[in-house]
Amino acid sequence: MDERKNLKSKIHSVLIESREKITINGVDDVESFDENNIILIVNDELLVIKGFDLRINKINTETGEVFIEGQIYSLEYGESPKKGLLSRLFK
């Protein structure tokens, strides 16, 4: 039963429209952003969005929704930013 709760808490969605608009649900925080990169924290993991002329149009902190526009080149998931250097070295 606990496993189901953990799975539900880790659900997020990404909707990309014509590589120009992206809607992401389940965002915990915005780590950083500029016109070429947006780094989000989603379920304690990094989500890096790369592109050109990227803009965050709307953030809803209550629902965890982020709306982004611009030319989207790639999305990449990474490790949690909360893990320290030692924990990453000794996996």
| Beta-strand pair 27-33/37-42 | antiparallel
Instruction: State how many domains the chain has.
Output: 1
* Cα 74 from chain centroid (whole Å): 12
CA 65 to CA 45: how far, in whole Å?
A: 16
C-beta of residue 23 within 8 angstroms of C-beta of residue 67: yes
C-beta of residue 23 within 8 angstroms of C-beta of residue 40: no
CATH number at residue 54: 2.60.40.2000
Average pLDDT, the chain: 84
The listed range with the strongest mean pLDDT (38-42, 43-47, 77-81, 84-88) is 38-42
Long-range contacts of 84-91 (CB under 8 A, 24+ apart): none
pLDDT of 76 above 60 = yes
Domain span including residue 71: 2-89
C-beta of residue 8 within 8 angstroms of C-beta of residue 26: no
